[in-house]
Chain A
Amino acid sequence: GAGVSQTPSNKVTEKGKYVELRCDPISGHTALYWYRQSLGQGPEFLIYFQGTGAADDSGLPNDRFFAVRPEGSVSTLKIQRTERGDSAVYLCASSLAGGPNEQFFGPGTRLTVL
Chain B
Amino acid sequence: RKEVEQDPGPFNVPEGATVAFNCTYSNSASQSFFWYRQDCRKEPKLLMSVYSSGNEDGRFTAQLNRASQYISLLIRDSKLSDSATYLCVVSKDTGRRALTFGSGTRLQVQP
Q: Which A residues fall within an 8 A CB radius of B?
A: 31, 33, 35, 40-45, 48, 55-56, 58-59, 91, 95, 98-103, 105-108
Contact = CB atoms under 8 A, between A and B. Distances in A.
A35 to B, nearest CB: 8
Interface residues on B, range: 20 to 34
A99 B103 contact: no
B29 interface: no
A91 B32 contact: no
A31 B32 CA distance: 17
A106 to B, nearest CB: 6
Nearest to A43: B101
B80 interface: no
Contact of B98 (A59, A100, A102, A108): A59
Give chain A's interface secondary structure class. Answer: loop
B97 interface: yes
Contacts of A40: 8, 103
B94 A100 contact: yes
A98 B91 CA distance: 12
Interface of B: 4, 8, 32, 42-46, 87, 89, 94-104
A43 B97 contact: no
B43 A41 contact: no
Contacts of B98: 33, 45, 48, 56, 58-59
Contacts of B89: 42
Contact of A48 (B8, B44, B46, B97): B97
9 cross-chain pairs, A with B, having the tightest CB-CB distances, nearest first: A42-B101, A105-B43, A45-B98, A43-B101, A42-B103, A100-B96, A102-B46, A42-B87, A41-B103
Given A42-B87, A48-B97, A59-B98, A106 B103 contact: no
